[in-house]
């Protein structure tokens, strides 16, 4: 009935917020270190799953997804995104070019989405109309949430912005909200790839073409302007820049990059990119060393309790903590030296 009438029951729009630390190593006393995960009624998730399936099918049939968005799409992942980027960077290096890779990060992106703008995107960019559009209007209207910590609930609060983190539709709707960004970047002839709210820009140039950096500067300026008008904000603290390519070429180029529209060049020679450590030579040596250290750490801990574990339980632990890390994005390592 909900899909036929274009109405979402009010009880489906109440979220219980359970704050989760973004990383175990972060300070639990700092509120900014928590991610607000929305726990929604299971019937609401079933309804959202039905809508998500129909919406994704419509988007695929009409080629409405951003070509270079690998988040929340069938047959796409962090690995497909990184394989594409790495291949482009290695190809450029083989041609003697130097590449500048900019990793943009958004602050609380899912929480600041403007519902009016998103509904306009659904109607004018995606082509959703009639009862289907009414359903989404109902989905966003009169939403509320409360925080529950140690079985102690807070007061209810109205939700006027954002898509629920932990919902089925949230990630897809976020991708559609970001649709205009691709055309803004293409206007500057800059290569890019997105995964959820992580956007990567990369420009490959000859070592003596430092003037080409003006394109990257202009692109980032336009991105920041677009985000400001769409209630999004770049997180300068997590945005990084790294120069890749032949060492004798990248050294001469690095001195021209002090800041990129206010974003300082990362002083480190490595950056963490979607869970993989990139170095300036794209050798992935730093990533392999870190993965090995982590794997051996967990193996030693499992070995300490091995005598009280069954064979099946031991295999599950090894898979969860060791082989899953070894397998993650391992296709990137196919061209590495032994």
Structure confidence at residue 130 (pLDDT): 94
The token duo for 66 is: 């951003």
**Whole-number Å distance between alpha carbons of 21 and 139:** 28
| Cα distance between residue 240 and residue 95, in whole Å | 25
Taking the CA atoms of the chain, what radius of gyration do you get in angstroms?
Answer: 22
pLDDT attached to residue 254: 64
Predicted pLDDT of residue 14: 92
Decide the pairing of beta strands 98-104 and 270-273: unpaired
Contact in structure between 246 and 96 (CB atoms under 8 Å): yes
Please tell me the predicted confidence (pLDDT) of residue 271.
92
pTM for this one?
0.88
The Cα 127–Cα 125 span in angstroms is 6
Note the pLDDT of residue 288.
94
Alpha-carbon distance of 19 to 40, in angstroms, equals 14
Q: How far apart are CA 212 and CA 188, in angstroms?
A: 11
Mean pLDDT per segment of 10 residues, for the chain of length 338 residues? 91 90 85 85 93 94 93 90 96 91 88 95 95 96 90 89 88 94 96 93 89 88 94 85 83 64 63 94 93 96 94 95 95 79
Side-chain-facing half-sphere of 199: CA atoms under 13 Å: 26
Residue 211 · residue 112 · CB < 8 Å: no
CA nearest neighbour of 50 among 1, 110, 118, 119: 1
pLDDT on residue 30: 87
* HSE-up (13 A, CA, CB side) for residue 2: 18
């Amino acid at each position: 009935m909900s899909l036929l009438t274009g109405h979402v029951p009010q009880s489906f729009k109440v979220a219980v917020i359970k704050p989760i630390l973004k990383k175990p190593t972060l300070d639990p006393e700092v509120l900014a270190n928590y991610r607000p995960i929305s726990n929604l009624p299971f019937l609401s998730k079933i309804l959202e799953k039905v809508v998500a399936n129909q919406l994704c099918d419509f988007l695929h049939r009409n080629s409405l997804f951003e070509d270079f968005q690998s988040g929340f799409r069938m047959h796409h992942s962090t690995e497909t995104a990184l394989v594409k980027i790495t291949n482009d960077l290695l190809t450029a290096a083989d041609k003697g070019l130097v590449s500048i890779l900019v990793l943009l990060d958004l602050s609380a992106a899912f929480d600041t989405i403007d519902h009016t703008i998103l509904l306009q995107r659904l109607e004018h960019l995606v082509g959703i109309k009639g009862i289907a559009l009414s359903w989404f209007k109902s989905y966003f209207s009169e939403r509320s949430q409360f925080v529950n910590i140690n079985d102690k609930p807070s007061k209810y609060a109205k939700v006027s912005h954002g898509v629920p983190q932990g919902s089925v539709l949230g990630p897809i709707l976020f991708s559609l909200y970001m649709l205009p960004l691709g055309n803004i970047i293409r206007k500057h002839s800059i290569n890019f790839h997105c995964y959820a709210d992580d956007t990567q820009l990369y420009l490959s140039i000859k070592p003596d073409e430092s003037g080409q950096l003006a394109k990257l500067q202009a692109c980032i300026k336009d991105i920041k302007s677009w985000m400001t008008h769409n209630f999004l904000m770049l997180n300068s603290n997590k945005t990084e820049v790294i120069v890749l390519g032949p060492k004798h070429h990248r050294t001469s180029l690095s001195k021209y990059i002090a800041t990129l529209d206010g974003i300082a060049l990362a002083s480190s020679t490595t950056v963490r990119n979607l869970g993989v450590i990139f170095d300036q030579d794209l050798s992935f040596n730093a990533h392999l060393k870190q993965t090995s250290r982590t794997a051996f750490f967990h193996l030693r801990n499992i070995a300490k309790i091995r005598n009280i574990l069954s064979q099946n339980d031991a295999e599950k632990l090894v898979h969860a903590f060791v082989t899953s890390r070894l397998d993650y994005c391992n296709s990137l390592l196919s061209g590495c030296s032994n």
